[in-house]
């Protein structure tokens, strides 16, 4: 953001810079409001928001696991790739890390619910169980 304002500052008179900052602030607030509205309609984004404590806690671990799996175990060396290839590999690695976070989050929500301050989950009875 600051670099964009500096670039605009080079070609704009200082008297109009406040207008650019105002437009950027209103656009950012509007974009954030639209994101909040989108979260209500997206089950994946809604789950991430609801379980965000787990996602924050395991983010670094899952990203390191994803990088280890992609680059060490699979032997991928993306250091000489083009920018687009590195960007694509970064997106794939991040998506894999999110999948790891989702699995770990489900385990924590189911079995370690007390560690994140949630009430005990209500488990549905197993069909055909002798316990009724």
The answer to whether residue 129 sits within a structural domain is no
Assess whether 71 and 114 both reside in one domain: yes
Q: What is the pLDDT of residues 39-57, one digit of tens each?
A: 777 777 777 777 777 878 8
**How does the average pLDDT of the chain come out, rounded?**
80
**For residues 118 and 23, what is the distance between their CA atoms, to the nearest angstrom?**
41
**For residues 24 and 28, what is the distance between their CA atoms, to the nearest angstrom?**
6
Assess whether 48 and 91 both reside in one domain: yes
Q: For the chain, what is the domain count?
A: 2
pLDDT value of position 5: 56
**DSSP, residue by residue, 107-129:** HHHHH-GGGGTPPPP-PPPPTT-
Assess whether 48 and 36 both reside in one domain: no
pLDDT value of position 80: 86
The answer to whether residue 117 sits within a structural domain is yes
Residue-number span of the structural domain to which 13 is assigned = 1-41
The answer to whether residue 68 sits within a structural domain is yes
For the segment 95-111, the average pLDDT, to the nearest whole number, is 87
Assess whether 47 and 34 both reside in one domain: no
Distance (Å) of CA 33 to CA 38, 39, 46, 51, 122: 9, 10, 15, 20, 34
Whether the predicted pLDDT of 28 surpasses 80: yes
Of 11 and 60, more confident: 60
Assess whether 7 and 51 both reside in one domain: no
pTM: 0.54
Assess whether 37 and 47 both reside in one domain: no
The answer to whether residue 127 sits within a structural domain is no
The answer to whether residue 130 sits within a structural domain is no
Whether the predicted pLDDT of 65 surpasses 70: yes
100, 60 contact by CB (below 8 A): no
Of 126 and 75, more confident: 75
Assess whether 14 and 52 both reside in one domain: no
Assess whether 61 and 3 both reside in one domain: no
Radius of gyration of the CA atoms of the chain, in A: 22
């Amino acid at each position: 953001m600051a670099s964009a304002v500096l670039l605009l500052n080079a070609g704009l008179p200082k008297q109009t810079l406040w207008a650019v900052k105002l437009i950027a602030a209103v656009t950012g607030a509007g974009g954030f409001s639209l994101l909040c509205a989108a979260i209500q309609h997206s089950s994946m984004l809604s789950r991430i928001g609801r379980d965000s404590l787990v996602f924050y806690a395991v983010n670094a671990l899952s990203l390191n696991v994803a990088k280890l799996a992609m680059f060490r175990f699979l032997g991928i060396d993306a250091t000489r790739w083009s920018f687009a290839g590195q960007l694509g590999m970064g997106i794939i690695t991040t998506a894999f890390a999110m999948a790891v976070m989702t699995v770990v989050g489900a385990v924590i929500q189911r079995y370690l619910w007390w560690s994140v301050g949630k009430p005990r989950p209500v488990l549905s009875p197993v069909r055909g169980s002798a316990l009724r």
